[in-house]
Amino acid sequence: MRGAPASRIAGLGRHAPERRVENAELEAALGLEEGWIARRTGIRARRYAAPAEALTDIARPAAEQALAAAGVAREDVSLLLLATSTPDHLLPPSAPLLAHRLGLARAGGVDLAGACSGFLYALTLADGFVRTQGRPVLVVAANILSRRINPADRASAVLFADAAGAALLVPSKDAGGGLLGAHLTGDGAHYGQIQIPAGGSRRPYGPDVPPQDLLMAMPDGRAVFTLGVEMMTQSARHAMDEAGVTAGEITRFVPHQANTRIFEAVRKALGLAPETVVSTIAEFGNSSAATIPFSLAASAEVRPLACGEMVLMTAVGAGLTGGAVVWGAS
C-alpha cells in the first residue's frame, strides 16, 4: 500500500431538510417572549426532518454533492466515516447502509459518536487513513436532533436542528496542505452537562423509564457556555501552534454553530478578524457535528477554497468532547 504526503478536500456537500421552523413557532410553544431565542443564541430559524426521513436520508444528498464535486470514482472510495448521534438504528451502524445507498461498493464504513465535535474527530482519522493508505475517504456528519428535543428543557429545545455536511478527502502531493494542526480533547468530569439520561446500558429502556428521560437535557446552560468557550479556545490555540500559524494567517474560522455568543467569544479570545467567521446558525441552527462541514460547504459555494488558505475549525460537545483543526487548502 502506498501512502501520501498529505490529504486534501476534493469535494464538499451539505443538505438541510425542507421544513423551516422559525423562532416564533417555538417561542409560542414554550411560552417565551418574542425575540428571546435570537437574543440568546443568534438563531432565527432551523430545519426539521420530515416524519418519514431518517438519518441516512438526509446524509445521502450531502454525500452525493461531495462525491460529485470531487469527481472521484465511487469504487475508489475506501472508507466512509459517519459522525452522528442519531443513527437510523442503535444497531446496526448506519455507515454501511449509507455507503451502500451511495454505491460505494468497496468502502468500509463506521459510525463515530463524537457529539458536536464528531466531524473534527472523523476528519482527523480520515486524514491519517489517506496519508497511510493513499486512498480517498468520505467523511459525513449528520443529525436529526429535532426528535431528541425535550420541550420542558428550554435551554436545549431552542437550539437543535437537523442537517448534514460532507467532505471527500483524497491523497495530495502538497505536504504544505491538508491537516496541518490538530488538537482533540475531552473532559469527562463534565460528562453529564449535555445528555440523554436513559436508553443506554446505564439506564436501559423499560416501562419504568419516563419518556422525557429519552430526550435531551442540559441542566446548566451557563456552565456549558463557559466550558465551551474555554475548550474551543484552548484547542484552537494548540492546533494553531502545531500548524505554526498566527491569527492573522487564518482566512476562515469555521466554528461549531452552538451559539453565536460562544463562537464570538472564542473569535475574540483568539484575536481572529470578524470577516473570517463562517456562520450559518441564524438560518439553520445547531445540528451538532454537522454544523462545521455544512458551514464550510456553504462558505465554499460563495467563495471556493483557494490554494494556500488556512481554515480553523473548532468545536465542543457532549461528553465533554472537543477539538480544533487547522486545515490548509491545496
Helix axes 260-270, 221-243, angle to 10 degrees: 40
DSSP lists the bridge partners of residue 48 as 19
CA distance 73 to 311: 27
Q: Which three cell numbers stand for residue 197?
A: 439520561
Contact of 140 with 126, CB cutoff 8 Å: no
The 3-state DSSP class for residue 63 equals helix
Residues catalogued as catalytic: 116, 256, 286
pTM of the model: 0.96
Looking at this protein, which amino acid is placed at residue 259?
N
| pLDDT computed for residue 45 by the predictor | 98
Contact of 164 with 58, CB cutoff 8 Å: yes
Q: Count Cβ atoms below 10 Å from residue 276 Cβ, excluding itself.
A: 18
| Secondary structure, 3-state, 2-60 | CCCCEEEEEEEEEECCCEEEEHHHHHHHHCCCCCHHHHHHCCCEEEECCCCCCHHHHHH
Pairing of the two strands 321-328 and 108-112: unpaired
Distance of CA 29 to the CA centre of its chain: 27
CA distance 52 to 50: 6
| pLDDT computed for residue 95 by the predictor | 98
Contact of 95 with 110, CB cutoff 8 Å: yes
Q: Residue 314: CA atoms inside 13 Å, Cβ hemisphere, count?
A: 29
The 3-state DSSP class for residue 180 equals strand
pLDDT by position in tens, the chain (length 330): 478 899 999 999 999 999 999 999 999 999 999 999 999 999 999 999 999 999 999 999 999 999 999 999 999 999 999 999 999 999 999 999 999 999 998 899 999 998 999 999 999 999 999 999 999 999 999 999 999 998 888 878 999 999 999 999 999 999 889 999 999 999 999 998 888 888 888 999 888 888 888 888 888 888 889 999 999 999 999 999 999 999 999 999 999 999 999 999 999 999 999 999 999 999 999 999 999 999 999 999 999 999 999 999 999 999 899 999 999 999
Q: What share of the chain is helix, strand, coil (3-state, %, to 5)?
A: 40, 25, 35
